[in-house]
Structure 1
Amino acid sequence: MFILLILCSCAPKATELPKPQVQIIEVEAKLEKCPRPGPYEVYPLVEVEHIGSAENTRRQRLNVMSLTDAVEERDAVIDCYEAQAGK
């Protein structure tokens, strides 16, 4: 028991770790609101006709054109914000 007490007293003492330095950084970004893109229109297919019918083909083309317009509008909004952010 005495030997255990001697061995424990020879152990190195725990050193205190330095406290981390905390820096608060405030970033203020002033961006103008860019125009919101319009709604995306989806033309449903006519279920009673086959997918390759004239009407369903027309509706598919309208959907593709509508989707293309929607993507271009969203790209314009992204470009607007990126231009303000200085990218």
Structure 2
Amino acid sequence: MKTAALLLILLMMLSACAQSRASKIDEVREVVIVAGYEQCPRPAKPELKPLLEEMHLGSRENVDRMMQNIVELLGALKAMNSTIHCYEIQTGRADEK
């Protein structure tokens, strides 16, 4: 029982010290943006055609739709890479690759 009382008193003393040490920010610091970037073009979202549910996966129509979707995704990937390259040019990291 003595140990519990001693630990309780010690805990109360530590919590009192912790509250008195809390600091308040008296001043507001201004943040200055050093580097400015131009916004690069955002690539368009690819329009993917859904597969025909009434046909099986290997049907000619579904295979054609999958191939068209792959072409759309490759075009979107190239557009995303060009946007990344645009930002890398602005940061000077385009030559590192």
**TM-score after normalising by structure 2:** 0.61
Q: CA-to-partner distance for each residue in 1:11-59, whole Å, 9 max, x for gaps?
A: xxxxxxxxxxxxxxx6511111111101111110000001111110110
Greater RCO, CA 8 A, separation 6+: 1
CA distance in 2, matches of 1:51, 1:72: 27
Superposed counterparts of 1:68-83, under 5 Å: 68-83=74-89
1:35 and 2:16 matched: no
CA distance in 2, matches of 1:78, 1:29: 17
Q: CA RMSD in A?
A: 1.4
2:91 aligned partner, one-letter code: A
Total equivalences in the alignment:
63
Gap regions ≥5 residues in structure 1: 1-25
**TM-score after normalising by structure 1:** 0.67
CA distance in 2, matches of 1:36, 1:76: 10
Q: After TM superposition, what 4+ stretches of structure 1 lie above 4 angstroms from structure 2?
A: none
2:75 aligned partner, one-letter code: D
1:83, distance to aligned residue in structure 2 (A): 0.2
Which has the larger Rg? 1
| Larger fraction in helix | 2
1:60 aligned partner, one-letter code: M
Gap regions ≥5 residues in structure 2: 1-31
**What's the % identity of the aligned pairs?**
40
